[in-house]
């Protein structure tokens, strides 16, 4: 039996010797395959994580853009409301300005005058020569116009 035991032991060890390198290669191949699959899985998960983070960042930026656009629209509305003619007129009255019943024009020597829209007497005075403008009557009329305009400025209208 010793022979039998020894032969069984020799038979088994010779079998492992024949299968040993093959089994070692197979185990190494399986190990390499597992490592490659693990590496591919890790790369996929890292890419998926980066994509998810990027999508969250884009969503935050879109929300920020909508908020800023909403604020911009609100500011444009506020500007339009505050710049309305009715509001400006009410504000001018609060500050003491009153509507002008008749406009008076001041003629400045050497300043080019366009007579479009000017009253007839102002256009005639603007086109007259310097000697005609310097008459005492013209100066008195001019001074009276300045006084009237100043009186209009300081006059306040109570709401």
Look at residue 54 and give its three-state secondary structure: helix
H or E element: which one contains 81? helix 2-82
96-126 pLDDT per residue, tens: 888 888 877 777 777 766 655 555 555 555 5
Contacts of 75 (CB under 8 A, 6+ apart): none
Of the ranges 71-80, 83-92, 104-113, which one carries the lowest mean pLDDT score? 104-113
Domain positions in the chain are 100-154
pLDDT at 76: 92
């Amino acid at each position: 039996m010793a022979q039998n035991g020894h032969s069984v032991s020799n038979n088994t060890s010779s079998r492992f010797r024949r299968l040993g390198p093959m089994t070692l290669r197979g185990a190494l191949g399986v190990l390499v395959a597992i490592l490659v699959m693990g590496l591919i899985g890790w790369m996929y998960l890292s890419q998926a994580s980066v994509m998810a983070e990027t999508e969250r960042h884009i969503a935050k930026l879109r929300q920020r853009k909508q908020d800023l656009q909403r604020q911009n629209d609100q500011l444009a509305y506020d500007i339009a409301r505050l710049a309305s003619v009715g509001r400006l007129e009410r504000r001018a009255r609060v500050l003491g300005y009153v509507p002008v019943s008749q406009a008076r024009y001041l003629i400045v020597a050497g300043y080019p005058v366009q007579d479009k829209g000017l009253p007839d007497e102002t256009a005639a005075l603007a086109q007259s020569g310097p000697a005609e403008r310097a008459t005492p009557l013209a100066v008195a009329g001019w001074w009276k116009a300045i006084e009237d305009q100043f009186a209009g400025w300081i006059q306040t209208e109570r709401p």
